[in-house]
Chains A and B, each alone.
Chain A
Amino acid sequence: MDKQVKIYSTPACPYCIRAKQFLKDSNIQFEDTDVSSNQQAAEEMIQKSGQMGVPVLDIDGEIIVGFDKERIKQALGL
């Protein structure tokens, strides 16, 4: 079963770009939500992570703040 992967990002943040590139390189399907143009998604991200920094990844309900490659790998079982 593929895991549900969602990333909350803004267009210009380098760690968002790196995190998305990492997911692409690992052939992981993900939903990218630009919180700069979607206020509701921004609130949802703050609610889930308890903080306002991007990126935030939601991997099957596990919330990872920042581009933490090791934790992302672990959560994805890579």
Chain B
Amino acid sequence: MYDLIIIGAGPAGITASVYAARKRMGLLVITRDIGGQTAWSGDIENYTGYQFITGSELAAKFEEHMRKYNIPVKENEEATEVKKVGNIIFVKTDKSEYQAKSVIIASGKKSRELGVPGEKEFKNRGLTYCATCDGPLFSAKDVAVIGGGNSALDATIQLMKIAKRIYVINNTSLLYGDSIMRDEVSKSKIVTVLNNSRVTAILGDKFVQGIKIERDKKEETLAVQGVFVEIGLIPNSDLAKGIEKNERGEIKINSHNETDIAGVFAAGDVTDVAEKQIIIAAGEGAKACLEAFRYLIQHKF
């Protein structure tokens, strides 16, 4: 049985693991990937100590720091359930099951999905959640960006240099991202913004060929080869089945990173912490580890 299992290896999980290793706790990290959302971030200019660093570079620095302590990491493994029976916390994954005296959930957030027919079938066949990664494959093609906030505008601006024509499908009456980005998008001759519009299906054969949208209560079909889904993030909190969450699905914690189950702590973007920032997630990870350490000292198992 482990003293501590940390779920997730973004800034929160990795910082917690470094603190735990330095306290020589019997430790295991279970994670789907390394770096979390940090790895997908563009330029970072607000992480103290680095005046400028890219997301992938900062994620590599985090990983290097974790590897220095030879921390056991189960990578490509997804925790599916955290359950406490007596004093033992069981962590079930898609591959195995583990037991620990304490757990830190630091599983972060993921892209929100549209939930429409065709989305799953055409993922990576024209539909993507990462404009930075996959955008360059749509050179001189017609594409649709779904969303109206900053991430949708950011994707649109990136695609303006690549695609032939861009439809922005926004379900509110106006785009709501930063005005500096809205101006840039509205100046482009290749961008068509469709407000009050909602995607109802992704169409295609082997690859995406179009989308069906509902605009002003009328259905329309747009011929596009690419669909970029940018409708925000949701917490990876499905694993926390019996743990209290807020209306957004974020795990509720107090100022000591405690959940409503003793011995189960949470940190970073998966929680209801007020701000979602890399540096805040890292700090929360450190706090959660120190609290778990204190918990283990106070409860002799």
- List chain A positions with a Cβ less than 8 A from chain B: 10, 12-18, 21, 35-37, 39, 42, 46, 50-54, 65, 68-70
Contact = CB atoms under 8 A, between A and B. Distances in A.
Interface stretch (B129-137, B238-246, B256-264): B129-137
A68 B271 CA distance: 29
A51 B75 contact: no
B139 interface: yes
Contacts of A50: 125, 206
Interface stretch (B55-63, B111-119, B189-197, B291-299): B55-63
A21 B56 CA distance: 12
A10 B75 contact: no
B137 A13 contact: no
Nearest to A52: B137
Interface in B29-81: 34-35, 39-40, 42, 55-56, 59-60, 75-76
B273 to A, nearest CB: 24
Contact of B136 (A15, A35, A53): A35
Contact of B137 (A18, A42, A68, A70): A42
Nearest to B225: A52
A17 B56 contact: yes
Nearest to B127: A52
B171 interface: no
Contacts of B150: none
Contacts of A42: 136-137, 139
B206 A52 contact: no
